[in-house]
Amino acid sequence: MGASTRSVGVGESTRCCMAKLYFHYSTMNAGKTTNLLQSAYNYHERGMRTLILAPRIDERHGAGVVKSRIGLQARGRVFDANDDVLALVRADIERHGALHCVLVDEAQFMTRAQVWQLTDVVDVLAIPVLAYGLRTDFRGELFEGSQYLLAWADVLTELKTICHTGRKATMVVRVDENGRALTEGPQVEIGGNERYVSVSRPEFKKVTQGGGRIELSQTVFPIGTVSDD
């Protein structure tokens, strides 16, 4: 496979490997990062070490900071588009010792080569990899990383959320300040999450064809409050 960028060591490829590559995908605001941080916590609770990888392109909360919408956060190892992920993992093991799981935040931003390197982390190093990311962009097109994770992952899991219509949300729209869907522009636009809305496929068709607008204001869930009922 042309995407592989490093030969494996003698004997490594024959290791018994029960590890798998997992891809947890969804639309915006379905709890991907919360799920990732919960998984990392579960490993650490059992005395097992993890490595969180975070793409440099996503610096909404600072380089390497992985933060969920409900306030949970952790420090991740930043990677760039030209980094060899397998080499990063090997270097981490050499520096800190045995590693039990690799978790990738915003995995849609990975390149084809990097997704292939994740498969080597699983197949060569026998370390499970949990990748979390969006499946499609605001145009309904696959991200590069998501395309190859869908193709090569051992286990695919959809994290579900709902559209404002009540249907299951499967797509993302980018809207302007008036709530009108945008159909042109760069695939990646970091920040301004309030301009991205998860919708069902029928609603995606409707709004991207000019049929209506989307209300941008979202009700904030009252965490920490107790109902009198």
Could you give the CA distance from residue 214 to residue 68 in angstroms, rounded to a whole number?
24
Q: E strand or H helix at 43, and its extent?
A: helix 32-45
| Residues forming beta bridges with residue 79, ordered by sequence position | 55
Concatenating the DSSP letter of every residue in 95-107 gives HH----EEEESSG
Task: Give the amino acid at 31.
Answer: G
Strand residues in 105-189 grouped as ranges (E): 129-134, 155-158, 171-175, 181-182
SS3 88: helix
- Torsion over CA of 33, 156, 173 and 201, rounded to 10 degrees? -140
Active-site residue flag, 144: no
- 204: closest CA among 165, 171, 179? 171
Q: For residue 128, what are its two tokens? A: 């499970």
Q: Which of 45, 106, 144, 158 is catalytic?
A: 106
Let me know if 51 is exposed, middle or buried by CB neighbors in 10 A (0-12, 13-18, 19+). buried
Active site residues: 106
